[in-house]
Amino acid sequence: MAHCLTRQHYSRLLALFPASLGNLLLLRTGHNRGKAAPFSLLKLIGSGTFLHDLSELPELDDLFSPKGVILDAQRRAAQLFGSSKNWFLVNGTTCGIQASVMATCSPGDYLLVPRNCHIAVISALVLSGVVPKYIIPEYNSGWDIAGGITPLQLDEAVNELEEDEKRVGAVLVTSPTYHGVCSNVQGIVDVCHPRGIPVIVDEAHGAHFRFHDSLPSTAIEQGADLAVQSTHKVLCSLTQSSMLHMAGDLVDVDKVSQCLQLLQSSSPSYLLLSSLDAARDQLSKNGNIFDEPLAIASETKDQLMIIPGISVLDLPCFASELIHCVSHSALQICNYWDMKLMTFYMKVIKLFLSLLAHGQ
């Protein structure tokens, strides 16, 4: 029987012709795996980035309803970081803070929060309709640095609201602060949990705490219900990728997931997601990864302390040796991972300090 080539068949054949010359990409990535990328960008970052910049595929799982590789990666992260539940974030720690507030508080509720909170907390208040009850943190006038809040301050603030018959939705603590000051999260949890108040911790700068004995305990280890960490700041994932950790049963898991879906992009970057899993894998296979940077930071601090005219920030509530140096930003220590470069810088600094100490 003869087969007639209809207009419909003809159009399909035309569509398949390019595929006969190579793989034809039918995904929603306009750069066509780098083939249509701007040459200047392709030259700068190479083709590998574009090859792996993929949109949602069944094999890559769905961030907002994970059942495959993303679910497995998040479970592995939860196990490593000691949480009962983990969410990968592609809109940074900001969206994790926003989702945490929205999932624990209703419009009109009060959120107890330190006055030196991150702007992400302010945006969370705007989005959720929650009312802030600010607590003035401890302050070191010598260094002009704000610290954390104490359990006593928190207890007094909660009592004030309860006397006025105001509902406290949650407490949010920044620990560590940008300058490394850690709050007594365990003490804060002891104040809140008997009252049924969940504790959220902005732990953006403390994602590394769990991975060395000399570092402070993590917020989750101290009993916090939700902790948001900037994996990209102090660990090795790509910028804008973070993690949200949960423990206990005081917070509704499904509500957190719903809030995250509301806040995050519906087209999440799989480069960011894979970088989070890679950072987790790196830590799981390199248990001593912080030994050298901690030793270098401690030695540098000791060298600085013997130089007349140089002060070293050394408060007992501060987090670790990594941030005890004089203005670590002045030393240009942006992260802890480029060990060869960091070791070189430290040797130069030590040589300079040695010459300075001997008046040369």
Q: Where are the domains of the chain?
A: 9-51, 58-285, 291-357
Residue written as token pair 């899993």: 277
Q: Is the pLDDT of residue 7 over 90?
A: no
pTM: 0.81
Lowest mean pLDDT among 195-199, 257-261, 330-334: 330-334
Residue bearing the bigger pLDDT, 3 or 104: 104
Class of domain 58-285: alpha beta
Residues 343, 315 contacting (CB under 8 angstroms): no
The CA distance from 292 to 281, in Å, is: 19
The CA distance from 103 to 256, in Å, is: 5
Give pLDDT, residue 58: 82
Residues 179, 205 contacting (CB under 8 angstroms): no
Residue bearing the bigger pLDDT, 215 or 257: 257
Four-CA torsion 156, 162, 167, 170, nearest 10 degrees: 20
Residues 160, 196 contacting (CB under 8 angstroms): no
Share of the chain above pLDDT 70, in %: 80
- pLDDT bin (cut points 50, 70, 90) of residue 323 is very low
Average pLDDT for residues 148-165, to the nearest whole number?
Answer: 95
Residues 349, 300 contacting (CB under 8 angstroms): yes
Q: Is the pLDDT of residue 344 over 70?
A: no
Give pLDDT, residue 10: 57
The CA distance from 50 to 44, in Å, is: 12
Four-CA torsion 52, 54, 60, 64, nearest 10 degrees: 130
